Homo-oligomer: A and B are copies of this chain.
Amino acid sequence: MRHGGAYPEDVSSASPGAAGVDPSVPAGVVELVGLAAYTELAEFGLLAARSVDAPTLAARQALADGAARALTRQHALLALVTDGSADAAAVVVAPFDGAFVDFDMRTRTDVWAEGLLKGVVGHGVAQDFCRTLAVGVQGHVGTSLRTVLERPAPGREAEAAAGADAEAVRLLDEVAAADEVLASRLALWGRRVVGEALSLVTTFVDARPHLTALAGDSARTLGVDADPRAWLVSRLTAEHTRRMDRLRLAA
């Protein structure tokens, strides 16, 4: 059931009746899918760039495979609300074109491992954000969206539609285990990246009424009685702490 119509039922404001976009999907959901799909394209770029300058052939291959999986997931997301055509995909993703430029500028680094961690943390926060907003999406699209965005089960990270980060996480773990100084540096870097990522997320929520409404829906679905914005940040921060623990880096 819906929760008091917290997000409007109109078709996507970015694409009123755009060819190839499912007109039965609410605009807020199209927007969320667009953000999630853009996030995967950005993740492709981050992993691919770290593949190109990877120090070993094994890392190069592993990160290329991860980047390809990010695109597989992107196409799975877009198929939820479009007919799968490139034109329809472009309409859904276009509103987020350039959305990460500021984040990217503020977290520039020439250190390979820092670039890798930036991808894992930035993409991790963006995915947790999308997953959290998907909680409140009703009906068939909501179920499918949550399935596609699901965190892969342990040991199944390398499957086609699974997360793209598995190899990056493994490589970072190796790097941190081998070099204590670099590990401390990465822990510090992780705090900087997550700060920028959380600030970007709140900017998104503030600037996009559909996403604000979805955050409210999610909070209500989970029985949370708090300001959705504050709740969202604390939830994403907690997920980030778990992520850094998995990397054995202090959050």
In the complex, what distance in Å separates the CA atom of A57 from the CA atom of B89? Answer: 11
B57 x A90 contact (CB < 8 A): yes
Knowing A49-B49, A51-B48 touch, does A65 contact B71 (C-beta < 8 A)?
A: yes
Category for how many chain A residues contact B: 20 to 34
In the complex, what distance in Å separates the CA atom of A56 from the CA atom of B7? Answer: 31
Q: Would you call the interface of chain A mostly helix, strand, loop, or mixed?
A: helix
A94 x B51 contact (CB < 8 A): no
Shortest C-beta distance, A68 to chain B (Å), equals 4
Taking each of A67, A68, A90, A94, which has the highest tally of chain B beta carbons within 10 Å of its own beta carbon?
Answer: A68
Q: Which of A46-70 contact B (CB under 8 A)?
A: 48-49, 51-52, 57-58, 60-62, 64-65, 67-68
B62 x A71 contact (CB < 8 A): no
A64's partner among B44, B58, B61 (CB-CB below 8 A) is: B44
A93 within 8 A of B: yes
Residues in chain B near residue A62, CB distance under 8 A:
86
In the complex, what distance in Å separates the CA atom of A86 from the CA atom of B52? Answer: 18
A93 x B57 contact (CB < 8 A): yes
A23 within 8 A of B: no
Residues in chain B near residue A150, CB distance under 8 A:
none
Shortest C-beta distance, A104 to chain B (Å), equals 10
Q: Which of A80-120 contact B (CB under 8 A)?
A: 86, 89-90, 93-94, 97
Q: Please name the 5 residue pairs, one residue from A and one from B, whose CB atoms are nearest each other, closest first.
A: A48-B48, A68-B68, A68-B71, A57-B97, A45-B52
20 contacts between A and B (CB under 8 A): A41-B60, A41-B61, A44-B51, A44-B64, A44-B67, A45-B48, A45-B51, A45-B64, A48-B67, A49-B49, A57-B93, A57-B97, A58-B86, A61-B86, A61-B89, A61-B90, A62-B86, A67-B67, A68-B68, A68-B71
